[in-house]
Amino acid sequence: MAASRLLFSLCTALAVAAAAAAATDTLKQGDSLTAPATLVSSPSGVFELGFHAPDPARPARLYLCVWYRDTQPRTVAWVANRVNAAAAAAPSLTLTAGGELRVLDGAAKDGARMLWSSNTTTRAAPRGGYEAVIQDSGSLQVRDVDGTVIWDSFWHPSDTMLSGMRISVNAEVRAQVRGPPERMLFTSWASDTDPSPGRFALGLDPANPSQAFIWRDGNVPFWRSGQWTGLNFVGIPYRPLYVYGYKQGNDPILGMYFTYTATNTSLQRFVVAPDGRDVCYMVKKSTQEWETVWVQPSNECERYGACGSNAICTVVQDGKAKCTCMKGFKPKLADEWNAGNRSQGCVRNPPLDCQVNKTGDGFLSIPNVKWPDFSYWVSGVTDEYGCMNTCQQNCSCGAYVYMTQLTGCLHWGNELMDVHQFQAGGYALNLKLPASELGFTYRSLENSRNSICRGAICFVSLSLFMVEAWKKYQRCSAQKLEEVKTFIYQISAKCWHAGYLTFDSFRR
């Protein structure tokens, strides 16, 4: 009896030793991983999972981390026990029968303190049990023998976004999880050597998941991606990485989400740095070192609300912001504005015509901008004209944008927050203005009191339209027809508007 037990423990010891010698990517249920042993992803060995001390000055503070195996110095992509560092010489990772991962400060048999848990609980362990596997993508998964994933580190990121990750408002829940639903946030480290949660976090805006934000101290907006247009984020000037890297999707449980896929290499990552910037790194082929390829915010206009509301931010030299009230607006507090304090932004001056019981409000197109925050999508509107018309008829609507088949119709209220105007790129915003602020066409029509002018304008525009439409029709694809339709509406909206103004000034 005693002999067989001895034999058994000997066998176990040998098996563990063998497992430690040959790199494995799997932790079986009931086993534990104790520093300095690690798991290595297969088949390519890109990532390694183990205990690591990120602060060289404090080598005893150990964290369960996923890091790149081949880059020096060690680059960490995920941390489990961010809040509680291990202090015992040999912390351990275990996988329970219920499929829960636990990080302990010591070994389980010694009754060690639990530092972190994946908090997954399943009613019954499946036949064959669970296993935890580190993959070449960098994801640590808990799954049953059939391959059903019940927990994935990609659903609970640290500060790093890797290729293949999804970003959604809530963390993905496939198994029962203790506690309230978790927001999915990429939270910065406290400092370069301290993985405990820092001041900045990146995630999707729960009120409008088509935008990503970086918040400071929980809820102060620090950076905004701008709305997703279907191809890219409006606030991020053209970058191949972005244009091809992000795809939008919809999930019945998660709602809108984005997936990020690196174009060419798995050695590419986005990190929310301790100072709040989102940095994209790529491994340079020649030196095998990380190179910064993209940073946001990288100038003052990319900082959220740099000029306050209803103002336009343009970048002058050295990334400094130049703030200008939008046309038809003036600083709310002139003294503070002139002294460089833009926090109060700008207010309408003069008011909209609809605010003083007049008609005549029209729209001015502001080109190359990052659309303001607080947009809302208007359902049931399928063309530019309808989008403009619904905004014109609602005195609380301050601006609109229509993009065929992508975002559709967006409206804003009368607070236009965080507008950044680019040298090139970006999109146009149609700002509502009273007739007195609108340009040459409307003004001259209003003054001329001449309906012949209206007729002439309509005739010229319609002729131009016919030519344009014919040109487009000849290259006729189904997609072009949609553009033609939009064009008709734009022209008829202009005619309608010009005609209306003329009629209105006649009446007065």
Ligand X SMILES: *[C@@H]1O[C@H](CO)[C@@H](O)[C@H](O)[C@H]1NC(C)=O
Which residues sit at the interface with ligand X, rule CB under 6 A?
A: 116-117, 119, 178-179, 263-264, 333, 336, 341, 343-344, 356-357, 394, 396-397, 413
| Nearer of residues 2 and 356 to ligand X, judged by Cβ | 356
Least CB distance from residue 250 to ligand X, whole Å? 24
Closer by beta carbon to ligand X, 11 or else 83: 83
Nearer Cβ to ligand X, position 396 or 448? 396
**In the bound complex, what is the minimum distance in angstroms from residue 276's beta carbon to ligand X?**
19
In the complex, least distance from residue 179 CB atom to ligand X, rounded to whole angstroms:
4
Name 68's bridge partners: 47
Nearer to ligand X, 402 or 422 (CB): 402
Tokens at residue 155, please? 């659903």
Which lies closer to ligand X via its Cβ, residue 86 or residue 397?
A: 397
Q: Please, are residues 388 and 500 in contact by the beta-carbon 8 Å criterion?
A: no
DSSP of 292-313: EEEEES-SGGGSTTTT-BTEEE
Q: Round to whole Å and give the CA distance between 152 and 202.
A: 19
Question: To which residue do tokens 């009446």 refer?
Answer: 507
Task: CB nearer to ligand X: give 179 or 252.
Answer: 179
Q: Which DSSP string corresponds to 321-363? A: EEEEEPTTEEESSHHHHHTT--TT-EEESSPPGGGGT----EE
Closest distance of CB 189 from ligand X, Å:
16
C-alpha distances (whole Å) from 252 to each of 159, 255, 282, 329 are 26, 6, 34, 43
**Residues 6 or more apart in contact with residue 75 via CB below 8 angstroms:** 67, 68, 290
Of 121 and 450, the one with the shorter C-beta distance to ligand X is 121
Nearer of residues 76 and 397 to ligand X, judged by Cβ: 397
- Cβ(299)–Cβ(319) below 8 Å: yes
What SS3 state is found at 386? helix
Nearer Cβ to ligand X (15/97)? 97
Shortest gap between Cβ of 176 and ligand X (angstroms)?
12
* Distance separating alpha carbons of residues 247 and 258, to the nearest angstrom: 5
Q: Shortest gap between Cβ of 449 and ligand X (angstroms)?
A: 24
Q: Name the minimum Å distance from CB 5 to ligand X.
A: 37
Place of tokens 């005549």: 360
Phi, psi of 346 (to 5 degrees): -125, 155
- Look up tokens 């340079």; give the residue: 284
- In whole angstroms, how close is the CB of 451 to ligand X at the nearest point? 28
Partnered with residue 167 across adjacent β-strands are 258
Q: How far is the CB of 411 from ligand X (least distance, A)?
A: 6
